[in-house]
Every structure is written in structure tokens, then in C-alpha cells.
Structure 1
Amino acid sequence: MLDVPGARLYYEVRGSGPVLLVMLGGSTDPAMAAPLAEILSARYTVITYDRRGYSRSPLSQPFGGHPVEQHASDALHLLDAAGPAPACLFATHAGALIAFDLLARRPERVRRLVAHEPPVYELLPDAERWRLMTAEALDRFEREGAGPAMRLMGEETGMAAPGPPGPGLPEWLRDMLTRIAANAEPNLRHELRAFSRYLPDAAALREAPLVVAYGAEDQGTLFHRTTLAVAGHLGRYAVELPGDHVGYLRQPAAFAEALHACLSA
């Protein structure tokens, strides 16, 4: 556990070598990145963690009004605890937004960032549609609870949240799915509005050491579109990684090799 202002962060460390911080987003749980972390631990000191207010990272103060910046500050505390050398970052979905903010504010702490399928809706031609979807999801959350709101978002984005754990699953998987279900509430209550309006700082990031990437199986999807939009916003090309939006979980060995190539290029 690492004490930070307003929270205690649960984190896990695997391997040795240059530090690689893995940053997931949404209501996901870092156990989803464990297979990837195990493979990469042969080359890196891999850190996975629960964001404040999620899974095993309890709050000691209420969420602030700027969640992207708050999570970026937490990630910086983790990097500082790991040592003074610049670190590699692998950040996916909303984790990529946090990583953009971290890199823009503290570029000396980042060796290279691979930002995988960042959901920057504001750069899309139909951005107004996604603003309305966010507003409807938050309204449904207030009226009906997290489950109906998450189902709406899954239908609109094509990324449905996993269902409740069924009988016969391994204990670690049941625990992870239980945590993911509980994470929907803080995600909707404290993050969704700010995250859905986030824009990366193009002036700060245009020359930064970062790679924008999408899943090979995601071409034509919403998150492929946002990835291409972010790449254009930052004046670079998007690269392809194995699998889909959670390729790091479904194809960890192939994903690890491709990610290492991006980080070491």
C-alpha cells in the first residue's frame, strides 16, 4: 500500500529492470493485466495498481473535482516510490487519458508512453452524440443505478461490462469480477463526466516520447476511431497492436512482444 493525499493505493510489483507502470481505465481491475505483467516481468519491473476509490485502494477523503489530474498525481507518487529514473508507461482506455496528463505535466518522469485506444470523444466529428450518451448514462445512473447505466454505455460503445461471477469460476476470477462490478459506481459518480470531455494537451505532447496504438481486431470500432483522432491531434501515426480493446488480456504473449517493441524503439 502507498499513502497518497486522500487515499491509500494498492499496487503489485513484478520482475526487475526498467520500471513499467500499467494504467487501466474504466471500471476494470488490474488483475486483468496480470498475465501481461507476468510475461513482461522478465524485462521490466512491472507495477500494476488500483486507482483511488477502486477495488483495493480506499479513499481517506472525498474525490476532488479534477479526477484526471488527481489520478495522474497518484501515478506520479507511484513512480517516485519506484525510483528517480524515467519510467515506461502502458496505458489503455481511460488510463491513457491519465497518462497523457502525467506526461504533459511531468515529461522528465516518462521514458516512453504507449497509449492504447484512448477514448477521446471530443475529437470525433459526432462528439455531440457522445456528450448526449454520457448525459443519458449519468441520468440513468441517478434514476436506476449503476447496472442500467453501464448497460447503456456498453450498448452504445460496443464494450459491455462483464456480468456477475457465475459458479465454478476460479476464486481469483470471481474476486476480480466482484471488484469490477463494484467499480462501476465510482466510475459513474466521480469520473465519467470529466473523462468524457478530456482533451490531450497537443502543445505539450506533440514532441513527447509516446506511441498511440489500437487493437488490430478493432478497426472501424468507436475506440479505433478515437485512437486515429488522437493520433491526428498529436501529429503522428497510430500503430497496431495484437487483439482487440483488451488484447493485453486475451493475447498476452503476442501483446507483450509488440508492446516491448514499441517501448524499446
Structure 2
Amino acid sequence: MTTHVSVTTDTLDVAGARLHYEVRGAGPLIALVGAPMDAAAFAPLADLLSVDHTVLTTDPRGINRSPLDDPDQDSTPDLRAADLARLIGRLDLGPAAVLGSSGGAVTALALARTHPDRVHTVVAHEPPLVELLDDRERLHAGTDDIIATRLRGDVTGAWTKFLAQAGIVPPDGVLETMFGAERTPREEADELRWFAHELRPTTRWRPDLAALRTVGTRIVVGIGEASAGQLCDRTSRALAGALGSEPVLFPGDHTGFVDDPARFTTRLRELL
């Protein structure tokens, strides 16, 4: 039996952008953020959490329904953190818990550093903090090559290189299925923006570890139980080690909250 969940949508004008955001449920505030994943990717998880939480989801600046004044503006973790701080303030229910995944986990960590009054708990699920790794220069060079490949128009080639560097082995035929079929102009625009204006600033962001160790915000580093050996498993373990904590395992892999939102919700509730 499917329970209908009421969703309120609105927009918020921020510096250089107009943010689309969605609110579900009632109770303590939790924000679910990705980068470049938009609000739709978190909808199943948000529906489950809305039973006893107010759940905030959003399209990051420049993605889907959150247009920019300047489409050539880079999407940095600090800009996205400022946006999230404004959204939390708009709801006036904070401080919030924040689950950030991938680039959204970097956003959440930036929020804890720059606006600790807005967030009491950050669950950073697989942040790609390449700057914490000893082989970061090699990885940065690989990222530059991935971006150049996509900007030349080789979509499949760029994703093949990206997944190889990430340590993710897709099932046979997945890339051809993903990129052989016709895609919407919005899907293509969001993907191109991520490669051109978001991937590099996100993976080159270096956390202020001293500040994160002393900030009042509780920081939990999450890793997918099926992500062992992948790049974001390495970066997440490096972050947890630098903060003097143990990472927490979540169901699935890098996209566990999409693939199995029910099990992911159960694990998240245990932490909250």
C-alpha cells in the first residue's frame, strides 16, 4: 500500500541564482542534498523520512529547476553551502540534520565549517575529497582529462574514464544503454554543467580539518557497504581518520539511498 506524501514546492532567490526546493512532513528538520543530484533523486528517501521529520530537498544552483544568472559560474562547495544555509533559515526550523551524498556531502561539510549554527549533525556519505589522498595530483590530472573528454563531445568516453577512476565497474552494456538512447535537453545540460563547472571545484576542495574537529556540529562519515576499494571509499576513510572517528557503513554503494531507500532510511534513523 502506497501512502501519499504531500510535497510543498517553492523558490528562493539567492546571490546569482533562484533555488527550487521541496518540503515534506513535520517534525525535526533534515535536509537531503546532492551535487549534482537534484531533489527528485532523494524523493523516495524523503517520503520515508517525512513520517516524523520535516524534510528539505533542493536542486543545487545551476541544476534542473534552479537557474543561474550567469550560466558560466562555477559551482563551489562554499557557494552551495551558503545556499543551503539560506534555505534552512527560510524554513526557520533549524538547526538541521543534513545528509549529503557525494558532492552534496562536500556541501554539507562546507556548511558545518561556514554556518555551524545552521546544522547540528552532518552525515557525509562518500564525499569525493581527493585532496586528502596521497595520489591527489594523479587523480586531479585524471579529472582534468575526463572533463576535457566530455567538453570535446565524447560522452561515453568521459563516463568510461570517470567510472574507471572512481573504481566503479558498471554491468555489461550499462554505458551503452545510458548514453545510446535519446536524452532530454535538460539532462544533457545538467550533465555538461557538472563536468564543466562543478566536478573540478568539488574534488579540489580541501576541508579545514582543524575547524571540523572543533566545530560544534556532529560529523558522521558514511560509506556504502558495497563501495570497498572505490575512490570515495578511500576519500571517506581518509576524512574519518583525519577527524579521529570511525566511518559508518550504509546499505548499498555510492547510490545506496536511491537503490534501496528503505534500508538506507533505517540506517540513517539509527544515527539520528
Find runs of 4+ consecutive structure 1 residues off by over 4 angstroms: 62-66, 159-162, 164-167
Tell me: CA distance 1:5–1:201, structure 2 relative to 1, closer, same or farther (3 Å).
same
- 1:199 equivalent to 2:245? Answer no
Q: 2: CA distance between counterparts of 1:256 and 1:179?
A: 29
Q: 1: CA distance between counterparts of 2:180 and 2:259?
A: 18
Residues 27-58 of structure 1 show CA distances to partners (whole Å, capped at 9, x for unaligned) of x3321211111000012111111011101111
Compute the TM-score of the two structures, normalised by the length of structure 2.
0.86
Partner residue, 2:34: 24
Q: CA RMSD in A?
A: 2.2
Tell me: CA distance 1:151–1:183, structure 2 relative to 1, closer, same or farther (3 Å).
farther
How far off is 1:164 after superposition?
4.8
Q: 1: CA distance between counterparts of 2:153 and 2:38?
A: 24
> What are the equivalent positions in structure 2 for 1:1-265 lying under 5 Å apart?
1-26=11-36, 28-64=37-73, 67-83=76-92, 85-144=94-153, 146-159=155-168, 163-164=178-179, 179-207=186-214, 208-263=217-272
How far off is 1:238 after superposition?
0.7
Compute the TM-score of the two structures, normalised by the length of structure 1.
0.88
Q: 2: CA distance between counterparts of 1:51 and 1:198?
A: 17
Letter in 2 for 1:241: F
Check the 8 A contact 1:64/1:70 in 2, yes or no.
Answer: no
How far off is 1:66 after superposition?
6.5
Name the SS for the 1:80 alignment partner. helix
Partner residue, 1:170: none
Letter in 2 for 1:99: A
Tell me: CA distance 1:233–1:41, structure 2 relative to 1, closer, same or farther (3 Å).
same
The total of aligned residue pairs comes to: 254
Can you give the 5+ residue segments of structure 2 that lack an aligned partner in the other structure?
1-10
Letter in 1 for 2:259: R
Tell me: CA distance 1:92–1:187, structure 2 relative to 1, closer, same or farther (3 Å).
same
Q: 2: CA distance between counterparts of 1:14 and 1:148?
A: 39
How far off is 1:179 after superposition?
4.5
Q: 2: CA distance between counterparts of 1:138 and 1:246?
A: 22
Check the 8 A contact 2:220/2:248 in 1, yes or no.
Answer: yes
Name the SS for the 2:152 alignment partner. helix
Tell me: CA distance 1:66–1:54, structure 2 relative to 1, closer, same or farther (3 Å).
closer
Comparing both chains, which one has the higher relative contact order based on Cα–Cα distances under 8 Å and sequence gaps of 6 or more?
1
Q: 1: CA distance between counterparts of 2:146 and 2:76?
A: 18
How far off is 1:151 after superposition?
3.3
Tell me: CA distance 1:122–1:109, structure 2 relative to 1, closer, same or farther (3 Å).
same
Name the SS for the 1:213 alignment partner. strand
Check the 8 A contact 2:165/2:231 in 1, yes or no.
Answer: no
How far off is 1:149 after superposition?
2.5
Check the 8 A contact 1:51/1:71 in 2, yes or no.
Answer: yes
How far off is 1:134 after superposition?
1.0
Percent identity over the alignment? Answer: 39
Q: 1: CA distance between counterparts of 2:142 and 2:221?
A: 25
Name the SS for the 1:114 alignment partner. strand
Q: 2: CA distance between counterparts of 1:77 and 1:63?
A: 22
Check the 8 A contact 1:90/1:113 in 2, yes or no.
Answer: yes
Letter in 2 for 1:212: V
Letter in 2 for 1:258: R
Can you give the 5+ residue segments of structure 1 that lack an aligned partner in the other structure?
168-173
Q: 2: CA distance between counterparts of 1:211 and 1:219?
A: 18
